[in-house]
Structure 1
Amino acid sequence: MLFRSKIFSILLSLGVVSVCPSVVKAQTLLPYTPELNSEYLDNYGFQLIQDAVKLIHFREFDLASSRARLAVQLSPNHYETWFILGTLEIQTGQIEQGVNALLEAKKLAPEESEVLFSLGNAYFQLAEYESAVKELKAGLKISDEVPQAYFDLGNAYLKLNQYGEAITAYQESIKLESQFWPAINNIGLVEYEQGKTNEAIASWRKALEIDSQQAEPTLAIAVAMYSQGKQQEGIKLAQQALSLDNSYGEIDFLIENLWGENLIEDTRKLFANSEIASLLEN
């Protein structure tokens, strides 16, 4: 499971919606260009950021990005403008540009944990897992009660095959949010790669106790059971999982969601079963 936090909670945590009083914009029909001092530019830059945040709520990411780009030109010395631009770039798939903007935000506010967490997540998306670990750990030294950050850290450790560290990070996430089923699910992913099939099944069942309608742990249990020779149980659970979300019928999607080599190999065997193969074809 690759669970990404919503951009809204990160932006609202900054309080950028209320950092600046509203300002009156110059009327475009005036036959002259007014002189603009630095204070005006800063205020207008923050007004644009407020507009960008509002547009984000309506998922108008392109419009929000254009305002954020102008905001950093008008208010380049405020980390909030760079931070929001960076998160928007990442949201629209411009990961490298997003990292560059976040690095500017980090220069201006090296102790802002939200910037470090977003930077760590961005490095993860670029497959720069060691850099992701570095930034996430730095953020957690500042703010150590953020379950999503521990989850992201666990994911980075998982990609580095540092299984012990991954489980520890996921457990910290669960300590802070006991119902955070993705962390429990991913402990199962680690356990399966370690050859601990029964422990993995127990973790996935625990995740389903929190949310019984999740396709991922359901399919993972199906794969594990099928590999143990419990074929009919595995097939039945796989059919149930794919009816919940047929995206999990794609191997590439499973790999993207951090399924390891052992689990993927056993999944291919299950998907080769005639009943499941027919279901996937349809």
Structure 2
Amino acid sequence: MPKHVGLISLMVVCSLWSMPRAAHAQALTPHTLQLDAAKLEKQGLSLAQEAAQLGQFQQFELALPRAKLASQLAPKNDKVWFLLGGLQLQAKDYDAAIAALQKAQSLNPKNADVLFALGSANFQQQKYQAAISNYQAGLQLKPNDPDGWFDLGNAYYMLGRLPDAIAQYNKAVSQNQKFWPAINNIGLIKYEQGDREGAIKQWQTAVSLEQQAAEPLLALAVALYTKGDRQQSLKLGEAALRIDGRYGDLNFLKENLWGQRLLADTKKFLELPSIQAALEQQGRPQPTQ
């Protein structure tokens, strides 16, 4: 800016100083941008929709920033907070997920799915009693949800409350007779309790409901092998691993609630030459120790 002040500029400065105080204040007050709250919320919902679509393709690095911004643009929308919490849960950012889900719950206490998601967050942090409370609260609002009963059964399972777990699994099946994961898990419990025949019946039922379900198929193969039915067991085991090679990993099986007795028998089964060949075809040449 020039060091000298021209005549016209000086006149302007003098005229400003001689103006009434109110006019002086008005002249210096900056214009403020008037934000349209409804328009911002609409933009937030659009971002949330984008985040949801990206989340479906596991693109969390792209989905999460959009969901976070959406929660800022539409802070009173419980569905946006639920989406954010769900994405953070999938990204295993549990503390952030719980905070977002609790915000969603405060905005809409009647959304059972939010409570189920809170239960999942606690379950994955091994806070099983807290998860049970979440699931039970969700089921009070949505008692016909088979997934809710199934998740509650899993929480009881992890606490070693096996009769309670079976009771919840049966409730899941009563809501959906084709809900094979609950039937499968009843088989897991029966096998650990030494009831091999009862477990086999459960897994046979699960396979009849979903022939492409690798888990009950492999469990059935292992149980039949321990029973002495070698030919049938190998056929089923190879089929299971072709469907999903992850089930050749003992750690993966443990994460899916397989107990010590079944894991020990499965380890022996996975070491069989024909099963090893099936694992090699899936890029898993050795079972995890």
The TM tier, using the shorter chain, reads 0.7 to 0.9
Deviation at 1:134, TM superposition (A): 0.9
Shift of 1:169: 1.2
Task: Give me the whole-angstrom Cα distance separating, in 2, the residues matched to 1:145 and 1:205.
Answer: 25
Worse-superposed segment, 224-233 or 260-269: 224-233
Q: Distance between the aligned counterparts of 2:111 and 2:42, measured in 1? A: 22
State how far apart, in whole Å, the 2-side matches of 1:232 and 1:102 are: 50
Within 5 Å, give how 1:252-263 maps onto structure 2: 252-263=251-262
Q: Which residue of 2 aligns with 1:113?
A: 112
Aligned length: 251
Cα 1:34–1:174 change in 2 (3 A) is: same
Give the whole-Å Cα distance in 2 for the aligned partners of 1:57 and 1:252: 26
For the residues of structure 1 that align with 2:192 and 2:214, how far apart are their CA atoms? Answer: 20
Rate the CA distance shift 1:63–1:229 in 2: closer, same or farther, 3 A. Answer: same
Contact kept, 8 Å, 2:84 with 2:100, in 1: the verdict is yes
How large is the Cα RMSD of the aligned pairs?
2.3
CA distance in 2, matches of 1:258, 1:58: 26
- Secondary structure (helix, strand or coil) at the match of 2:183 reads helix
Structure 2 unmatched ranges of 5 or more: 1-30
Give the equivalent residue in structure 1 for 2:67: 68
Deviations 1:180-225 (A, max 9, x none): 1111111111111121110110010001111223221111111112
Where do residues 145-224 of structure 1 align in structure 2 (5 Å cutoff)?
Answer: 145-224=144-223
Alignment of 1:239-258 (within 5 A): 239-258=238-257
Distance 2:53 2:270 in 1: 44
CA shift for structure 1 position 254: 0.8
| Inter-partner Cα distance in structure 2 for 1:38 and 1:94 | 30
Q: Which entry has the higher C-alpha Rg, 1 or 2?
A: 2
Partner of 1:14: none
Q: Distance in 1 between matches of 2:49 and 2:241?
A: 41
Which segment is superposed worse, 233-242 or 186-195?
233-242
Residues 54 and 168 of structure 1: CA distance in aligned 2, closer, same or farther (over 3 Å): same
Q: Which digits, 9 at most, give the CA deviation of each residue in 1:107-155, with x for residues without a partner? A: 3323321110111122222222211111011000011111111111111
Of 56-65 and 223-232, the range deviating more from structure 2:
56-65
Q: Is the 8 A contact 2:242 2:278 kept in 1?
A: no
Q: Could you tell me which runs of 5 or more consecutive residues in structure 1 were left unpaired when the two chains were aligned.
A: 1-31
Task: Give the whole-Å Cα distance in 2 for the aligned partners of 1:51 and 1:212.
Answer: 35
In the aligned structure 1, how far is the partner of 2:271 from the partner of 2:171?
37
Normalising by structure 1, what TM-score?
Answer: 0.80
> SS of the counterpart of 1:73?
helix
SS, match of residue 223 in structure 1: helix
- In the alignment, is the contact (CA less than 8 A) between 2:88 and 2:94 conserved in 1? yes
Within 5 Å, which residues of 2 pair with 1:4-23? Answer: none
Mapped to 1, the partners of 2:187 and 2:49 lie a distance apart of 41
Which of the pair has the greater relative contact order for Cα pairs under 8 Å at 6+ separation?
1
**Counterpart AA for 1:103:** Q
Q: Which residue of 2 aligns with 1:82?
A: 81
What is the TM-score when the length of structure 2 is the normalising length? Answer: 0.78
